[in-house]
Structure 1
Amino acid sequence: KDNGPRTVKDVKLISAGKILENNKTLGECQSPLCDIPGGVTTMHVVVQPPPVEKGTICIGAILETII
């Protein structure tokens, strides 16, 4: 996909207000306070957009070339 993440560094997982580190497993990042048996864990995934090339501007999801 053209708009998907290119590498794992383009994806950020956020849990309990903390950005999780890419070099750790999810189990290593979990807090004992959030580890409630039968509980639900809500996580957010943020995909950083790829850097735009020089000579283009990004407006929302639309790229326009600057002439």
Structure 2
Amino acid sequence: MDHTGAIDTEDEAGPLAHLAPSPQSEAVAHEFQELSLQSSQNLPPLNERKNVLQLRLQQRRTREQLVDQG
């Protein structure tokens, strides 16, 4: 907003609004889009994925406890 109370659109967009994406960021975005379009049928069942994540979390906490104990 300027001193008159009107909204200055250039300031609202921020300093990064005029930057073009790099070729690398475009490639990453394209790869992410390709992966997100793939069928989720390749994934194991939700329950199995949850169990794997729980096990990994438990293992990490155990490692952290061992480190804390010296």
Larger radius of gyration: 2
Normalising by structure 2, we get a TM-score of 0.20
Q: Which has the higher contact order (CA 8 A, sep 6+)?
A: 1
Structure with the bigger percentage of strand: 1
